[in-house]
Amino acid sequence: MDLQAKLSTVLGGRTADALRKGLGLLTVEDLLRHYPRRYAERGELTELDTLRVGEQVTVLAEVTKVTVRPMRNRRGSIFEAVISDGRNSISLTFFNQKWREGQLKVGRRGLFAGQVGRFREQLQLTHPEFELLPEGVDDGGLSALEFAGALIPIYPASKSVTSWQLKKSLDIVLESARELPDPIPDAVRDEHGLLGLTDALWSIHRPTSRDDVRRAVERLRFEEAFVLQVVLAQRRAEVMALPATRRVPETSPLLDAFDARLPFELTSGQREVSQAIDEDMARDHPMHRLLQGDVGSGKTVVALRAMLRVVDAGGQAALLAPTEVLAAQHYRSITGLLGPLAERGRLGSPEVATQVALLTGSQRTAQRRSELLDILTGDAGIVVGTHALIQEKVDFNDLALVVVDEQHRFGVEQRAALTAKSRDGSRPHVLVMTATPIPRTVAMTVFGDVDVSTLTELPAGRAVVSTHVVAVSEQPAFVERAWQRAREEVVAGHRVFVVCPRIGDDVDEGAEDDGSVPAGEDDEGVADGRSRAASVRGLAARLADGELSGLRIGTLHGRMTGEDKDDVMRRFADPEAKDPIEVLVSTTVIEVGVDVPQATMIVIVDADRFGISQLHQLRGRVGRGQLPGLCLLMTDSDPESPSRERLDAVASTTDGFALSALDLEMRREGDVLGSVQSGRRSSLRLLEVARHESVILQARESAFAVVAADPELSTSPALSEAVRVLIAQEQADYLERA
């Protein structure tokens, strides 16, 4: 049977329509993979005290009482049945359906579905859908196949499609699903003692015992991990098949001169990663490596060393940043670190020197043209720009290495970088950097086709950042003290960041488009009854007139032009600036990578509006020089709320990996993967990346072995088909989100 066949070819048109509209189920496979949410046990009724008002529920319960009474103010009758789990009860109400008396008799058991409401302190379902179990179900006198099993599957249902309608449709589809081709090859299945696909689907939909369910879930979960890992293994194999130029300089005068200039010792982690990169780039297929490390762990220096190495080998390197602000900053810090080594062609510059080009969208044409020329001739050994650099097809003399910093769309940009070609058609080596620590299992799931290096230690002597939660309404004196402290920092010659969730106070001036404010809260904040979050413009004006009057306050947000942003950042970061900015009120545009050694304090206003990882990133903006940092998380949230819990967690540790693991636990699965990469999430139904590490590891090992032995999967048509479907789905999801 064709798993990709439309449901309308197997089921009635109306049913197929309802499944599509109600639950988005299109194909036979969609339905077969629509697994029960849980199982009701025949003897065991649903615990009714767990129901909450507003929930859409399906419960198994027994009718304990029925009444019919006339309506009070109108003609007609109300039929009410009380159903019970033995301890608690809820009522079912039907208007003008007196005939229900004949169906819902005391003692009958059944499944009841509807939205939970409340009427006079009593929970109720109004006009619920229901399906009664055959009479005498508890006497064991039942033979019908339908209820032969002790477990009744309860499906994720919708208003228009009930759990038992799903069950009936599945009965039809399962009947014809007798010998499904199995995407897991026999050998792999045997090795891990897994059920075959057909058995697993029958068992998960029609189990006779809890053990059936467990074995089915085990197999289907493994399959999800396995097919995904096969996709990653194939991607990896594809990269390995691409040609790249070995970049092994005979001597490294530029890199040596740079190392000699460095005012600090590399950490052992930095040395190890540099070594791994050198080895990668000495191969004739492209490096494809992710370098992750907490903010301030020294990734940029490692990347710069790799870039200098390829320059020594006669090639060029491109560094791509997600925003113009960051590109400009990278340019400044790289030219700063290189000093005269970046001044090739200038009188008196060392012979080994190279040139660093900056390409931004806001550049003037003449300037841009001259930079493009330097890139084309190869005079510019290092080119810094935004991620658009790759799409714009800038002509390089010999592009050897692409470094992608803080990708916005993981995976996508990294793959785009690989498609860039150098002159002879070979591909550049690619190094991706991220300061968002990615838990191991997520890395394996999302970056399973990439080598991952991690910088775990911060350079020695790094100043500490202490973090405190300031509860605005409970501790007004602390708030006052906080701004006083900000003033003291400025007076001492330091810089202060103030971060707000919003740009302005107009309705359309919501959050930055980076999703920094949880959906539904960005505009009015009425959803949870809170007042609207602080805005950059509003707060900057208030501080200028009040708490921070007399200080030089600047603002920064995503709606400003690249030029303006750059100007503001320069005035804030440069201690020698003519018209300095001392306090920068900003949105999260400062989140990644911004390096201002003089910044000693960051105040995050309405901090509860941000996620854990984001707060950690923001905190990383201070304590970057020798000076200790202070991070204040201001909040008006309820001390008992989950958001306060998040803030306390951030205040309690500076370990980015611990926080990212916590973040993973606290968020829903889809959000985690969704935020890292589009797609992928819809294919994972049973696999939870945070919980099933050993499944992922085992599946990964098997998948890589299968692909190594048979890269085209020619011996497993079913696996090949599953891979095709997964990739198609991922692309569809991606297009939908783009």
Asked if residues 616 and 650 have their Cβ atoms less than 8 Å apart, the reply is: yes
CB within 8 A of 235, min separation 6: which ones? 449
Binding mask 540-579 for Mg ion (x = CB under 5 A): ----------------------------------------
Q: Which stretch binds ligand ADP (CB under 6 A): 87-95, 209-217, 227-235, 292-300?
A: 292-300
User: Is residue 300 involved in binding Mg ion (CB under 5 A)?
Assistant: yes
Cα gap 364→528, rounded to integer Å: 47
User: Exactly one of 350, 361, 459, 562 binds ligand ADP (CB under 6 A); which one?
Assistant: 459
- Nearest approach in angstroms of CB 635 to Mg ion is 28
User: Is residue 92 involved in binding ligand ADP (CB under 6 A)?
Assistant: no
Q: What is the 3-state secondary structure (H, E, C) of 473-503?
A: CCCHHHHHHHHHHHHHHHHCCCEEEEECCEC
User: Exactly one of 36, 110, 296, 439 binds ligand ADP (CB under 6 A); which one?
Assistant: 296
Name the one residue in this structure whose structure tokens are 């032995």: 709
User: Exactly one of 593, 629, 656, 679 binds Mg ion (CB under 5 A); which one?
Assistant: 593
Beta pairing class for 77-84 and 151-154: unpaired
User: Is residue 435 involved in binding ligand ADP (CB under 6 A)?
Assistant: yes
CB within 8 A of 539, min separation 6: which ones? 498, 500, 585, 605
User: Is residue 590 involved in binding ligand ADP (CB under 6 A)?
Assistant: no
| Residue 293 interacts with which of Mg ion, ligand ADP, none, CB < 5 to 8 Å by class | ligand ADP
Asked if residues 623 and 464 have their Cβ atoms less than 8 Å apart, the reply is: yes
Nearest to 298 by CA among 459, 107, 73: 459
Binding mask 297-336 for ligand ADP (x = CB under 6 A): xxxxx-----------------------------------
Cα gap 534→522, rounded to integer Å: 10
Q: Interface residues for ligand ADP in 650-709 (CB under 6 A)?
A: none
User: Is residue 322 involved in binding Mg ion (CB under 5 A)?
Assistant: no
| Residue 665 interacts with which of ligand ADP, Mg ion, none, CB < 5 to 8 Å by class | none
Backbone angles phi, psi at 686, to 5 degrees: -110, -20
| Residue 119 interacts with which of Mg ion, ligand ADP, none, CB < 5 to 8 Å by class | none
> Given the complex with Mg ion, which of 593 and 629 has the nearer CB atom?
593
> Given the complex with Mg ion, which of 300 and 660 has the nearer CB atom?
300
- Nearest approach in angstroms of CB 602 to Mg ion is 17
Q: Amino acid identity, residue 479?
A: V
> Given the complex with ligand ADP, which of 522 and 591 has the nearer CB atom?
591
Cα gap 354→375, rounded to integer Å: 12
User: Is residue 281 involved in binding ligand ADP (CB under 6 A)?
Assistant: no
> Given the complex with Mg ion, which of 516 and 617 has the nearer CB atom?
617
Cα gap 263→460, rounded to integer Å: 13
User: Exactly one of 371, 595, 606, 608 binds ligand ADP (CB under 6 A); which one?
Assistant: 595
CB within 8 A of 11, min separation 6: which ones? 19, 169, 172, 173
Hey, is 433 helix, strand or coil?
strand
**Residue 319: CA count within 13 A, CB half-sphere:** 32
Nearest to 315 by CA among 266, 255, 241: 255
- Nearest approach in angstroms of CB 597 to ligand ADP is 6
Token duo for residue 313: 């080998």
Q: Interface residues for ligand ADP in 617-636 (CB under 6 A)?
A: 624
- Nearest approach in angstroms of CB 267 to ligand ADP is 5
Residues that bind Mg ion (CB under 5 A): 300, 593
Residues that bind ligand ADP (CB under 6 A): 264-267, 270, 293, 295-301, 435, 459, 595, 624
